[in-house]
Structure 1
Amino acid sequence: MGVHDKFENKAEELEGRAKEAAGAVTGDDELKNEGKADQASSALKQGSEKIKDKANEVVGKIVGND
């Protein structure tokens, strides 16, 4: 997972938290739910990137690059 991807995913997560909090404070359920969706999207991206990283690590060990 590239550093750029990590920053983008973390930014999306933090933006989602901010939206959820703002929605909770203002009583805006749509904004609150949008924030939760942003956080879930970020978590999925982070999980898939971790799987890719692990797969690349395993392949590297098999072909002798690590």
Structure 2
Amino acid sequence: MCARTIYCTNIDKKVSQADVKLFFESICGEVYRLRLLGDYQHNTRIAFVEFVMAESATAALNCSGVILGSLPIR
């Protein structure tokens, strides 16, 4: 991973990988790769989001606290 990748937590389990990608692309810029991880024992999931441009990753860091699904992402 590189400076174009962010680590995002507190993702609502009801949100799909496509939803996460659309969320970040609509606010920050083109997503190159997205890994959405989680299991049945936890109420939330995490994601590694890699952007095409480093500036998009910087913009994504400012999305902390924005509601995605029914929870604020971190």
TM-score normalised over the length of structure 2: 0.26
Structure with higher Rg: it is 1
Q: Which has the higher helix share?
A: 1
Which is bigger in relative contact order (C-alpha 8 A, separation at least 6)?
A: 2
Higher strand share: 2
